[in-house]
Amino acid sequence: MSIPNRVMQKLSSDEEIVYQFQKPFSLKSPGLVFTNKRLIYYKPKSSGIKLEQYSWRDVDEISMEEGLVNAKIEFEMKGDHEIELEDIAKSDVREMYAIATELKENAYAGRARSSPLLDSSRQQLSPLTSGQIVQRRSDMGFMARMWTAVQAKMNRIMGTVDTRDDLELSYEKQLLLLQDVKRSVAHFATYCERVELQREKLQLSMEKLEAQAKEALLNGREDLARKALENRAVLQAQAASLDQQIADLRDQHNKLSAAESRLAAKAEAFRAKKEAIKAEYSAAEAQVRIAESLSGISEEMADVGLTVEQAEERTLNMKARSAALDELLQSRTSSDLSAVSGLEQEIALAKAKGSIDDELNRIRAEIKKEI
């Protein structure tokens, strides 16, 4: 899903695209583009595209409402205007809400700025899926800090707060503040150099006027010499003022540099402490999981126990079924054998009947001979 060309044309050279959303498989549905400076709403029409843009300071309130399946998000602007998107997946709404809230807070806090992560925001973006966050790099910068903040806010919305994430977010904020201070120190140093250059130019001008005054006196033009010295006196007053200004600027620059050093040391100390706390938290979490597993109260062990019980129950059912089948087979075999045995007995009796008659006749004949 690409961003419309008209939206891309509205972006300034130092503006970053943070997020884009448009319903998938719907070419005429409205869409949103979040940049580090403003919110852009667009809706395709038959005659072109309807476009609305608001700075994050114009956003008065952001709200979302979740239903059984989908959700909606609403942006209330200053001046009784609102933007509403309905029938959107809950995950997309949660992402939009978290990112928009962070951008709004940054704008009110004066932290929104361009980032070196994007040299030009007019470059063609890679295709985005619905609600996909544009994560350019993992290094420190606006996008990396934004991603960390979004993850922390998403965890709070979904009720899955992690202490380690909160520590990382706090560290990111300290680095952001340190970067602001470093930028201020650099700008201040640049201004100091500019004032010093101006002072050097005044010094050159004064030396030039003094040389002109000497030359005028040598040529017998005292009036010109006086005029040159008057101009030099004016420049001397300006130079004295610049000297005082330079001294004050150097003093302020030293204070800012000292503050930067203290803040950098504080951030480094926090980083070390953060890593130690994260390690302790991970160890404690592992111990809790081990204890829960040994005691059988963890969800994982409960699932394992339930699986064992179900397996044992299925095994018993299978054994009972096997025994019943064996019993049935034995009963069928015995009935089959009894039926065969009775038939054989009848056949044997039928065969024996003829031999018995013969035996009787033989015995009778023997009796008659004896008589």
The kind and range of the H/E element at 78 are: none
Q: Say whether 127 sits in a helix, a strand or coil.
A: coil
Domain 5-161, CATH number (from 3.30.930.10, 2.30.29.30, 3.40.50.620, 3.40.50.300)? 2.30.29.30
DSSP 8-state class, residue 345: H
First to last CA, the chain: 127
Residue 140 per-residue DSSP state:
S
What pLDDT is recorded for position 349?
A: 67
Contact, 130 vs 70, CB < 8 A?
A: no
Structural domain spans, the chain = 5-161, 174-281
Element (H, E) at 19: strand 17-22
pLDDT of residue 167: 78
Length of the chain: 371
pLDDT for residue 39: 92
The pLDDT value given to residue 154: 64
The confidence score (pLDDT) of residue 293 equals 66
Note the pLDDT of residue 272.
86
**Half-sphere exposure in the Cβ direction for 283 (13 Å, CA):** 6
pTM recorded for the entire structure: 0.37
Instruction: State how far Cα 61 lies from the chain centre.
Output: 22
Residues 6 or more apart in contact with residue 84 via CB below 8 angstroms: 72, 73, 74, 75
**Per-residue pLDDT of the chain in tens (371 residues, 90 and over written 9):** 567 777 788 888 778 888 888 876 566 778 899 998 889 998 887 777 888 889 998 898 899 888 877 888 999 988 888 898 888 888 888 888 888 888 888 887 765 444 333 333 334 344 443 333 333 333 344 555 566 566 666 666 655 556 777 777 788 788 888 887 887 788 778 888 888 888 888 889 889 888 888 888 888 888 888 888 888 888 888 888 888 888 888 888 888 888 888 888 888 888 888 888 888 888 887 887 777 666 655 555 556 666 777 788 888 888 888 787 777 777 666 555 555 556 666 776 676 666 777 777 777 787 777 76
Radius of gyration of the CA atoms of the chain, in A = 47
pLDDT, position 123: 40
Helix 142-157 × helix 90-109 angle, to 10° = 130
